[in-house]
Amino acid sequence: MYKVIIKEGKDRTIRRHHPWVFSGAIDRIEPAYTEAGWAETYSSTGLFIAYGWYDEKSHILLRLISWKKKDNPSDELVRKLTKAAVERRRDLFSLADTTAFRLIHGEADFLPGIAADVYGREIRIIVSSRFGEAFLPVIASELDKMLHPSVIEAVTDKQFAGLEGMSERVRHFRNGEETKEDESRDNVRFIENGIWYEAAPGKGQKSGFYCDQRDNRKAIEMYAKGKNVLDLFSYTGGFTLHALRAGASSVDSVDSSESALRHLLYQVHLNEDKEVLSEGSRDKVNIYPSDAFQWLRDSEDNKYDMMILDPPKLAKTKSSLENAMKAYKDLNRVAMMKIRNGGIIATFSCSGAMTREDFRLMLSWAASDANAEIQILRTLSAGEDHPVRLSFPESEYLKGYIIRVIK
C-alpha cells in the first residue's frame, strides 16, 4: 500500500471529506509509484486522514474512499460500499409505479466514477474513472448477488474516457461473471411514475435514460393542462409524455437526434396502447430534429404557454463555466422573450461546475435582458436516489426552477 503525504495547508478540504486530491496538494508518495493501488493518506505532520485509490494515469491522482482508520482498503470494502448504496434505496424497490432509479451515485455513495441505474430487470453502469474501471467486476458481482438482474451492462462515459486514459467500451456481466453481448437481447421496458418507457441495449445517451429527472417530470404536470408546450432538448420525450398525460393541448418536441425523436413517438404510442395516455395523444405531438438553440430563435413569438429547457451539460469543468453561463443566459433570455406573458418555463442545468447561486444569477441576467420579471414557483433538483453529499458539493449537479415570466 502506498503512503501519500499531503502538503502543509493543503489538507483542509480533504479533512472535511472531499474525495478529490489533485497533484498540487501532494508532497510525496512512498514507495515510488509503479502502478495504481490503495493508499494511506497523511497530513504533513503525520496524522492519518483517509484511505484512497492512487493512480497517476487519472486526472485526479488520489480519490479518497474512507476516512475510517479501522477500514481495510480492499475488494471487500468496495463490496461493502456497493451493498450499502443499494440498501439505502430499498424503499424504492417497493414502488408500484416506478421500476427505474439510481442504485449508485458515484462519490455521493463513496464509489468514485460509478453510476449504476436499474431499469426493470436490467442494471446499467456508467464508468467515468479509472477507479471505477478497476473495480467494475467487483461492483457488478455484488449487484448481481443482491439483485439478480437479467444482465448488467457497463459503458465507459465518453466525456471522461480521454481525461482518464480509458478506452470506450461496453461490457456485460451475468451471474457475477463477465460475458459476451447477447445479440438477440430485447429492449428493456420499465415504468416511471406510471409511464412506460423502452430502452435499447447499448444505445442512447449515457445509460439510455435519465432517472435524475423523475420527480421533475412529474412536477411539470400541474402546469401543463390545456397548454401549448415546447419540450426543448426533448431526447426520447420524458417531459413530453408527462405533459400529454396532464392534458396539454399540444407539444412540440425538439432535439438534435432524429432517432431519439422517432423513439419519442414510439413511446407515445406505447402509452396510448397501455391506456396511460388518452387516445389521440399522438396527434398532439410534433417533432423537430434540429439544433435546439437555433430552433428557439427562429420560433414564433407568443406561441407557447409553457417551455421546458433541459440542455445537455454545457460546463464540463470550472474553466468552461464562463462560456457556459453565456450559453445558458442566451437560451433562457430567448425563451423569456418568446413565451406568452404569464407563461411557465421549467429550466434546468446539469453542469456540476455551475452552482445553484450561479444559475439564479444567470436567470436574473436573462430576465433583465428580456425586459421581463420572473417569479420562482418551484425549486427543482434530482430525486432522492441521487443524494447530495454535503462534503462533495459537486454531487448537486442537477438544478432547476419552474418560473413564471411576466412581461
pLDDT at position 202: 60
Which ranges of 178-257 would DSSP assign to H, the alpha helix? 214-219, 221-224, 238-246
Q: Are 282 and 269 in contact (CB under 8 A)?
A: yes
Q: What rounded mean pLDDT belongs to the chain? A: 94
Q: How confident is the model at residue 363 (pLDDT cuts 50, 70, 90)?
A: very high
Residues forming CATH 3.40.50.150 domain(s) in the chain: 210-406
168: burial class by Cβ within 10 Å (0-12, 13-18, 19+)? exposed
216: burial class by Cβ within 10 Å (0-12, 13-18, 19+)? buried
Residues forming CATH 3.30.750.80 domain(s) in the chain: 76-179
Distances (CA, A) of 91 to 79, 267, 384, 395: 21, 27, 11, 22
Residues forming CATH 2.30.130.10 domain(s) in the chain: 2-72
> Is the pLDDT assigned to residue 186 strictly greater than 70?
yes
Q: How confident is the model at residue 209 (pLDDT cuts 50, 70, 90)?
A: confident
CATH 2.40.128.260, domain 2-72, yes or no = no
SS3 category, 378: strand
For the domain spanning 76-179, the CATH number is: 3.30.750.80
Three cell numbers written together for 219: 412536477
Residues 326-334, mean pLDDT to the nearest whole number: 95
> Is the pLDDT assigned to residue 241 strictly greater than 80?
yes
Percent of the chain exceeding pLDDT 90 equals 89
SS3 category, 327: helix
Q: Are 304 and 338 in contact (CB under 8 A)?
A: yes
Q: Greater confidence, 137 or 321? A: 137
Report pLDDT digits (tens) over 63-97. 999 999 999 999 999 999 999 999 999 999 999 99
Report pLDDT digits (tens) over 99-149. 999 999 999 999 999 999 999 999 999 999 999 999 999 999 999 999 999
Parallel, antiparallel or unpaired: strands 114-119 and 100-105: antiparallel
Which class in CATH covers the domain with range 210-406? alpha beta
pLDDT at position 314: 80
Name the pTM for this structure.
0.92
Which strands sit side by side in the sheet containing 62-66, from one edge to the other?
Answer: 20-21, 62-66, 48-54, 37-42, 2-6, 26-30
DSSP-derived secondary structure for 123-149? EEEEE-SHHHHHHHHHHHHHHHHHH--
Residues 21-49, mean pLDDT to the nearest whole number: 97
